[in-house]
Amino acid sequence: MNKFNQKNLLKKIKNGDESSFGKVYDFYVDKIYQFVFLKVNHKENAQEIVQDVFWKFWQYVHKPEAQINNISSLLYTIARNLVFDFYRSQGRDARVTIPIESQDMIDSLVQDNSLEKEAEIDIKYDIEAVQKALEILPDSYQDIIVLKYINELSNKEIGIILNKKEGAVRVNCHRALLALKQAIKKQDLDR
């Protein structure tokens, strides 16, 4: 979705055009769902939050003072805030105590059908380890890893979402990866 399209879409949404809103929804819903799911680790909660993200987006576009340069950044910012609200409403520890629906998750995580079955088992295991390690990282590192390496956003977009300078994002990416690596190693040792 290029900038011109974005501007056009936003203009139409502002004028109340439902089909343009539908286009934005269709284009971004998978990505936003992925981001939210990795943060809350619970299907129904993720669905509720994602629905709320798009509703908030509609509301925000209609604010007279709204200045939107990038739809993607706005959606992720809203999603991040709502996840934060969710944690708060559940109590901070909720994220840790929610059981991981391991099998469901692994099934949905592994998409590469071309792999041999044995290799697939290894990847399942690795991805699960990565996922579990992600959970114990501080929020700021989690955000960076999910946005940068899973949702594959640019440093610039991440900077807008996290309200950081591009350089700081670059530095934090490096640190977040090191922290994740350490967390995986630690898990291996504990196992």
Partner 1 sequence: MNDLIKQLNKIEIKPDQDWKQDSRDFLISKIRRVDGIRNNHGLSGFWARAVNIWSRMFIVPRIAWKPVGVFALVALIFFGGSAVLVQASKSSVVGEPLFVVKVAVESLKMAAETDNIRKVALANKVLDSRLSEFDRVFTASNDGSAVSNSQDNNANDEVALALDEVEKNIFKVSYRFTDLKNDNYEDDKRMVAAAMEVNKQMKSYKQKLKKAQAEAKAGEVVEKIEQVLARVDEVDIDVLEVIVDSHSKNEDLVDKNELNSIFNERLVEIGVEAEQVAQVVDFKSDQLSGDILEKTEKVKQNIKIANEALQKGEYGLVLSLANDTSELLRLVYGENFDVYKLEFTSSKEEQDMATDTESGDDEAGVESSDNNVEDEIETNINELGEIKGDTDENFLPTSGNIDFNEKLIQIDEVVIEDNENNQNTGPGTDDSNGDEGDGEVLSEPEQVKEFEVGIN
Q: Which residues 88-107 are close enough to bind partner 1 by CB under 8 A?
A: 88-89, 91-93, 96, 105
112 near partner 1 (CB under 8 A): yes
- What are the tokens at 92? 């901070």
In this complex, which beta carbon is closest to partner 1, that of residue 3 or of residue 122?
122
How far out from the chain centre does Cα 138 lie?
A: 15
Q: Which helix (H) or strand (E) holds 84?
A: helix 71-90
Angstrom distance (rounded) from CA 51 to CA 45: 10
180 near partner 1 (CB under 8 A): yes
Candidate residues 59, 69, 102, 154; the one interacting with partner 1 per rule CB under 8 A: 59
165 near partner 1 (CB under 8 A): yes
Site for partner 1 in 25-54 (CB under 8 A): 25-26, 29-30, 33-34, 37-38, 46-52, 54
Angstrom distance (rounded) from CA 166 to CA 85: 26
For residue 25, the minimal CB distance to partner 1 (Å) is 6
182 near partner 1 (CB under 8 A): yes
- DSSP sequence for 113-170: TTS-HHHHHHHHHHHHHHHHHHHHS-HHHHHHHIIIIIS---HHHHHHHHT--HHHHH
120 near partner 1 (CB under 8 A): no
